[in-house]
Structure 1
Amino acid sequence: MTGSMLAGAFLAAVFYVIIPGPAFLALLGIGAGQGRKAGAMFLGGHLAGDLVWSTLALVAIVGANTIGTLVFDVLGLLCGFYLAWIGWTALRAKPRGADKPLLMVERPLRRGLIFGLTNPKGYPVALATFTALLASSASTLSFSTLPMLLAVSLFGFLLADLFLIAIIGASIVRRFYRKHELAIVRMSGLLFMGFAVQAVWHAAPGLANWRRA
Structure 2
Amino acid sequence: MSFSLYLAAAAAGAAYTLTPGPAFLALLGIGAGQGRIAGVKFLAGHFAGDIVWGALALVAIIGSASLGTLVFDILGVICGSYLLLLGWRAVTVKRREDGALNTEVTQPLRRGLAFGITNPKSYAVAIAMFTALLAAHAGELSWASLPPLLLAACAGFIIGDAILVWVIGAAPVRRLYRRHELWVTRISGVIFLGFGLQALTQSGAGLLRR
Partners of 1:120 and 1:102 in 2: how far apart? 26
Name the structure 2 match of 1:125. 125
Distance 2:122 2:10 in 1: 17
Root-mean-square deviation (CA, aligned residues, Å) is 2.4
2:5 is equivalent to residue 8 of structure 1: no
Q: Which residue of 2 aligns with 1:24?
A: 24
Match in the other structure for 1:190: none
Q: Take 1:109 and 1:172, find their aligned partners in 2: how far apart are those partners?
A: 25
Map of 1:94-173 to 2, 5 A cutoff? Answer: 103-173=103-173
Report if aligned partners of 1:23, 1:115 keep a CA contact under 8 Å in 2: yes
Question: 1:63-113: CA deviations, max 9, x gaps?
Answer: 11xx8xxx9xxxxxxxxxxxxxxxxxxxxxxxxxxxx95821010000000
Q: Tell whether the 8 Å contact from 2:45 to 2:112 is kept in structure 1 after alignment.
A: yes
Q: Percent identity?
A: 56
- Offset at residue 176 of structure 1 (A): 6.3
State the partner residue of 1:196: none
| 1:33–1:102 Cα contact (<8 Å) kept | no
Q: Give the alignment's TM-score, normalised by structure 2.
A: 0.64
Letter in 2 for 1:160: G
| Deviation readout 1:132-190 (Å, 9 max, x if unpaired) | 110111111000111110111111111211222222132212456899x9xxxxxxxxx
Deviation at 1:57, TM superposition (A): 0.3
Q: 1:21 deviation in Å? A: 1.4
Code of the residue aligned with 2:63 in structure 1: it is: G
Q: Extract unaligned runs of 5+ from structure 2.
A: 67-93, 95-100, 185-210
Q: Which has the larger displacement, 149-158 or 165-174?
A: 165-174
TM-score (norm 1): 0.64
1-side partners of 2:166 and 2:120: how far apart?
A: 27
Q: Distance in 1 between matches of 2:39 and 2:114?
A: 15
* Structure 1 equivalent of residue 50 of structure 2: 50
Contact 1:33 1:103 in 2 (8 A): no
Three-state SS of the structure 1 residue aligned to 2:105 is: coil
* Separation in structure 2 between the aligned mates of residue 55 and residue 125 of structure 1, nearest angstrom: 13
* Separation of aligned partners in 2, 1:45 and 1:16: 16
SS in 2 for 1:105: coil
Partner of 1:120, secondary structure, is coil
Contact 1:29 1:102 in 2 (8 A): no
User: How many equivalent pairs are there?
Assistant: 148
Q: 1:41 offset after TM fit, Å? A: 0.2
